[in-house]
Amino acid sequence: MVETNVNINRNNSEVRVRFAPSPTGDLHVGGVRTALFNYLYARHTGGKFLLRIEDTDRKRSTPEAVKVILDGLAWMGLEPDEEPVFQSARFDRHIEAANKLLEDGHAYRCFCTQEEIEQRRELAGDKIYMYDRHCLNLTQEEIERKLVTGQEFAVRLRIPQGDIVFNDLVHGEISVSGGEIDDFILLRRNGTPTYMLAVVVDDLDMRITHIIRGDDHLSNTPKQILIYRALGKQILEFAHVPLILGPDRKRLSKRHGATSIIEYRDFGYLQETMINFLGLLGWSPGDDRDIISRQELLDLFDIKGIQSKSAVFDESRARWLNGQYLGRSEFDDVAAELDKFAREASESGSLLEMPDKQQIKAAWNLLRTRVHFLKDLFDEYRYMFRDPDVFDPKGVRKHFMRDSVAERLASLADDFASLEPLTSDTAEQVIRTRAEEWKLSAGKLIHPVRLACSGATGGAGLFETLEVLGKNSVVRRLKHAVELIHSETFDIS
């Protein structure tokens, strides 16, 4: 029998999709991308996005592991539209379905022990051993006798002849011969349901219409289709999303760096960045844009745009994107987070004291298009808040170790001290006037002043930087550099 899902008419039914993670203690960015695609599809079609926690592995499925998933989704703004469903709470329904399949003759009891199966596998010399249907051939009396003596049994699906054909919305038509599928287990000998059974029963009970999941599940789909059929149900729509690869084109894993969404959050990635980044990872609206908002994704998302080849995770792109979003952020949008990082930096001793809000705001406005992460402001641009104690060695060689630099910096310190007020304009005037007087290019003063005031050779415009630093800091830093140059105590190793 050939059955395809191409023509199922679902026009009248509301789209219901689900994200079905197994709580393993981590919420992988690949999982979050699957969740996002489901969420976007639900929102785009006016449907519902649901969450099912597949917590049947009781050892790994701790409350903490569940919390990691809920926190990660909440941080991304991907909350489900209904209460999460816990698979472990639904064993009765799974068992009920297995019993129905037994009654209807689509499944049968298998009393074979693991050892017996192993022996047969060895005898057959077969690596890809398929269950030999030993128990399918038991007579009713034999079955009764085993049941009466309390023998444990598993429940296996009886695989019908014929091809299983279905249309995957990403990969197109897929066809598998029933002969390639083993009479797989639905209920284990200890009475617990297998993933294969549980997932189908749950998707049916949750009235899911579309299964959008990683394509590592593509090979499970024909088996699940057989369960739908045996239960007399229409099969759902399937869209298998290609896996995410690392830059070496191997499946993205810890070897490639951070893979947990929480690590990205804690590193300082913004929610908008991750939505944009994961939204365009393996999906495209049909153009090659890099920047897309959550709203645009909601407006444009369709399953057709999911690419059938794997997407490569390029963290440098995420970093760049984060910078783009920060560059557009107003101080008030990020003030609370900046305050948190400033507090951390002052508590750890990286800053000598907690900067005041005005200082942080001025530094933010000056540097927001340069930082990639909020914490960069107190890290890479720490000099905005405390005098530099390290000076770029190349810069020192190039800009400090020259005749007359100390004298010039000393004069400039006096010039700046007399400015009332020191603004970027008045600071620029001082530098240009002195450059002319000393017959130098302005750069010959700008570079050493920058190095003296920041320890660095690059950054935002010098004059604006000086204004934000304020007169006292500028004068103090220039004088300190003069002393250092005279004492030749720079560590430029």
- Of 17 and 367, nearer to ligand GLU (C-beta) is 17
CB of 160 to ligand GLU, least distance (A): 22
- Of 54 and 415, nearer to ligand GLU (C-beta) is 54
- Of 52 and 444, nearer to ligand GLU (C-beta) is 52
CB of 208 to ligand GLU, least distance (A): 10
CB of 256 to ligand GLU, least distance (A): 19
Binding positions for ligand GLU, rule: CB under 6 A = 20-22, 54, 199, 213, 217
Cα 142 from Cα 158, distance rounded (Å) = 19
- Of 17 and 155, nearer to ligand GLU (C-beta) is 17
CB of 22 to ligand GLU, least distance (A): 4
- Of 240 and 375, nearer to ligand GLU (C-beta) is 240
- Of 19 and 325, nearer to ligand GLU (C-beta) is 19
CB of 198 to ligand GLU, least distance (A): 9
Distant-in-sequence, close-in-space partners of 345: CB < 8 Å, separation ≥ 6: 351, 375, 378, 379, 382
**Active-site hit among 67, 250, 254, 304:** 254
- Of 213 and 382, nearer to ligand GLU (C-beta) is 213
CB of 228 to ligand GLU, least distance (A): 13
Cα 140 from Cα 102, distance rounded (Å) = 13
CB of 298 to ligand GLU, least distance (A): 22
**127 classed as catalytic:** no
Short-list 478, 361, 458, 470, CA closest to 426: 470
DSSP lists the bridge partners of residue 237 as: 210
- Of 199 and 363, nearer to ligand GLU (C-beta) is 199
Distant-in-sequence, close-in-space partners of 385: CB < 8 Å, separation ≥ 6: 342, 351, 355, 359, 363, 378
SS3 of the chain: the string is CCCCCCCCCCCCCCCEEEECCCCCCCCEHHHHHHHHHHHHHHHHHCCEEEEEECCCCCCCCCHHHHHHHHHHHHHHCCCCCCCCEEHHHHHHHHHHHHHHHHHCCCEEEECCCHHHHHHHHHHHCCCCCCCCCHHHHCCHHHHHHHHHCCCCCEEEECCCCCEEEEEECCCEEEEEEHHHCCCCEEECCCCCECHHHHHHHHHHHCCCCEEEEEHHHHHHHHHHHHHHHHCCCCCCEEEEECCEECCCCCECCHHHCCCEHHHHHHHCCCHHHHHHHHHCCCECCCCCCCCCCHHHHHHHCCHHHECCCCEECCHHHHHHHHHHHHHCCCHHHHHHHHHHHHHHHHHCCCCCCCCCHHHHHHHHHHHCCCCCCHHHHHCCCHHHCCCCCCCCHHHHHHHHCCCCHHHHHHHHHHHHHCCCCCCHHHHHHHHHHHHHHCCCCCHHHHHHHHHHHHCCCCCCCHHHHHHHHCHHHHHHHHHHHHHHHHHCCCCCC
- Of 50 and 431, nearer to ligand GLU (C-beta) is 50
CB of 110 to ligand GLU, least distance (A): 24
Cα 179 from Cα 308, distance rounded (Å) = 27
CB of 57 to ligand GLU, least distance (A): 10
User: Active-site positions?
Assistant: 254
